[in-house]
Amino acid sequence: MSIQTKPLTPHFGADVQGIDLNTVTANHLFPQIRALFEEHSALLFRAQDMTDETHLRLAGLFGPIEDREADERKPGEGFKIPKVSNVQEDGTTSGEMDLKTLNLKTNFLWHSDSTFLPTPALINIITARVVPSSGGATELASTRAAWAMMPEEMKARIRGRGIWHRYSHSRRKISPELAELPMFNKWPDTHWNAVWENPINGREALYIASHAFKVDGYDEAESEALLAELTEFCTQPAFVYAHNWQVGDVLIWDQRAVMHRGTPWPYEEPRTLSSICATVTEDDGLDRIRVPA
């Protein structure tokens, strides 16, 4: 099987062709996929017929499967692949101001997944199951490419500092009521270095998210202003790839070096993406993001 790639943007990302993800195993094709992932930060596989079993297996090859609901699951209940969806259990779509929809709208803020967890995510693997007639794109922004091109004066304001993250912080930006829900307050605040060095190639990336609320050495108002300025720089068009979904498309990106966000769609129309995160390990540079005690 011959693997071909073409750039998604001039600065990051690769459109990978010639692979059926259902055939990938630890020894077959995954080493090549992992190498492409480290080099390009984001990988697109179009028109895949990826099964749930493949989705789980592929995520597990990157690292431990993230399971945010482990403490809520009843005895005997198994892990279910998380859905990013406005479809309710009865098959209807949630109203625009329902808490379910408001939570989806928090995904329209630029973020990296799981910066608020005790151990953050390495990757997200998302595939489209149901797409609306318009809208609903996923945008990726390379904080690695942005950091490489960032003016030194701006870098100096954040380099060497830690950043505090809180899940409810991003939810509060959309809805105070949403932010009070128990699911957004299960974990204590986390504290990570602002810059994450890739242990494979030594390339650095800014590690920020909508969950970030405090930068060491600044008060909260100063922190908010600095984080907004850094996010604005990293999400300039030159550093962004926007993907308009087709059913079967698969996106994989590096949470250490890429922020992402969703975009609106007609909320009366169903949209469902299946999403699995894998957790970062020591081999992925976890030691480089820890703030010294």
Per-residue confidence (pLDDT) for residue 161, from 0 to 100: 97
CATH code of the domain in which 277 resides: 3.60.130.10
Please compute the mean of the pLDDT values over residues 114-129 and round it to a whole number: 97
pTM equals 0.94
Show the CA angle centred on residue 92, arms to residues 86 and 96, nearest 5°. Answer: 50
The model's pLDDT over 153-186, given as tens digits with 9 standing for 90+, comes to 999 999 999 999 999 999 999 889 889 999 899 9
User: What domain range is 50 assigned to?
Assistant: 4-289
pLDDT tops 90 at residue 92: no
pLDDT bin (cut points 50, 70, 90) of residue 23 is very high
Per-residue confidence (pLDDT) for residue 100, from 0 to 100: 78
pLDDT tops 80 at residue 99: no
Per-residue confidence (pLDDT) for residue 93, from 0 to 100: 87
Q: Choose among 85, 103, 254, 119: nearest CA to 187.
A: 119
Q: Choose among 20, 71, 28, 12: nearest CA to 48.
A: 20
Per-residue confidence (pLDDT) for residue 67, from 0 to 100: 93
pLDDT tops 70 at residue 283: yes
Per-residue confidence (pLDDT) for residue 94, from 0 to 100: 79
Range name among 77-81, 204-208, 237-241 with the lowest pLDDT average: 77-81
Per-residue confidence (pLDDT) for residue 97, from 0 to 100: 66
Please compute the mean of the pLDDT values over residues 101-109 and round it to a whole number: 87
Do residues 268 and 88 make contact, with C-beta atoms less than 8 angstroms apart?
A: no
pLDDT bin (cut points 50, 70, 90) of residue 86 is confident
In whole angstroms, give the CA distance from residue 30 to residue 61.
Answer: 8
127 CB burial (10 A radius; 0-12, 13-18, 19+): buried
9: which residues sit within 8 A by CB, 6+ positions away?
142, 238, 239, 240, 241
Per-residue confidence (pLDDT) for residue 1, from 0 to 100: 59
- Residue labelled with tokens 């490489």: 148
State the pairing for strand pair 14-17/258-262. unpaired
The model's pLDDT over 37-65, given as tens digits with 9 standing for 90+, comes to 999 999 999 999 999 999 999 999 999 99
Question: Total domain count for the chain?
Answer: 1
What is the percentage of the chain residues whose pLDDT exceeds 70? 99
pLDDT tops 90 at residue 7: yes
What is the percentage of the chain residues whose pLDDT exceeds 90? 82
The model's pLDDT over 214-265, given as tens digits with 9 standing for 90+, comes to 999 999 999 999 999 999 999 999 999 999 999 999 999 999 999 999 999 9
